[in-house]
């Protein structure tokens, strides 16, 4: 019988609250459902990721003197891989360590703290020189978080991912989970998008399916 883990992605004020820097439309509507979901007996363990940036993080447009949402070319910070590049978007300042925007929203955090089963809070994005989307690793696949080792220690074979937002951190966490050999599912009714364009979301979902991720409506 497979052991299942629930992974909650970035349920933080800046992604959820209407006053947040990168808030998902109607994000607050899934908070109570997520809080209830993590209490179910289905899960061998629960992990929750948190964007946790220093103020000088490379992903902030402000730190490059350009407008929010500008296009940008990242160069790998890894010695010997400086010629590796990735095209990306620069963001408004968000989820800075110790700020209101970085806090996990109340009912989700309270439910997480009350868990009697194994649980792990995973910080990502705390290295200033590299971007992170996935809960497993930075965009260069170089710096690993504790997430994979935690899941392996718990004997997990299947993961269910929820949270914020589908196009970025949910997607990349799911792709990395699938690559790591976990049977990977996204629970769509517990997940929000930041983009309202149907064509964009359709392409994201198609990419996920092609990468071996199951989308559960």
Which tens digit of pLDDT belongs to each residue from 14-28?
Answer: 999 999 999 999 999
Residue with tokens 């909650």: 8
Is residue 48 a contact partner of residue 12, using CB atoms and an 8 Å limit? no
Task: List phi, psi (to 5°) of 141.
Answer: 70, 25
Q: How far is CA 195 from CA 35, 52, 94, in A?
A: 24, 22, 17
Residue 1 binned pLDDT confidence (cut-offs 50, 70, 90): confident
| CATH class of the domain whose range is 4-53+99-216 | alpha beta
Which tens digit of pLDDT belongs to each residue from 39-69?
Answer: 999 999 999 999 999 999 999 999 999 999 9
Q: Rounded CA gap, 79 and 42, in Å? A: 43
Is residue 168 a contact partner of residue 192, using CB atoms and an 8 Å limit? no
Which tens digit of pLDDT belongs to each residue from 128-187?
Answer: 999 999 999 999 999 999 999 999 999 999 999 999 999 999 999 999 999 999 999 999
Which residue numbers are catalytic? 10, 124, 169
pTM greater than 0.85 (yes/no): yes
């Amino acid at each position: 019988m497979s052991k299942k883990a629930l992974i909650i992605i970035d349920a933080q004020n800046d992604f959820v609250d209407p006053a947040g820097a990168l808030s998902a439309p109607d994000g607050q509507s899934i908070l109570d459902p997520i809080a209830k979901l993590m209490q179910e007996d289905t899960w061998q363990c629960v992990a929750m990721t948190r964007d946790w940036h220093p103020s000088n993080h490379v992903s902030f447009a402000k730190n490059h003197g350009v407008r929010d949402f500008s296009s940008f070319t990242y160069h790998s910070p890894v010695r010997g891989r400086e010629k590796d590049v990735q095209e990306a978007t620069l963001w408004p300042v968000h989820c800075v360590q110790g700020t209101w925007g970085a806090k996990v929203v109340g009912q989700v955090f309270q439910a997480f703290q009350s868990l009697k089963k194994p649980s792990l809070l995973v910080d990502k994005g705390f290295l200033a020189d590299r971007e992170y989307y996935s809960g497993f690793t930075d965009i260069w696949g170089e710096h690993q978080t504790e997430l994979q080792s935690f899941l392996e220690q718990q004997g997990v074979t299947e993961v269910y991912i929820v949270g914020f937002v589908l196009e970025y951190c949910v997607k990349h966490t799911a792709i990395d989970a699938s690559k790591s050999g976990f049977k990977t599912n996204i629970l769509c009714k517990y997940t929000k998008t930041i983009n309202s364009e149907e064509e964009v979301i359709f392409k994201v979902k198609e990419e996920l399916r092609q990468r071996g991720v199951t989308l559960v409506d």
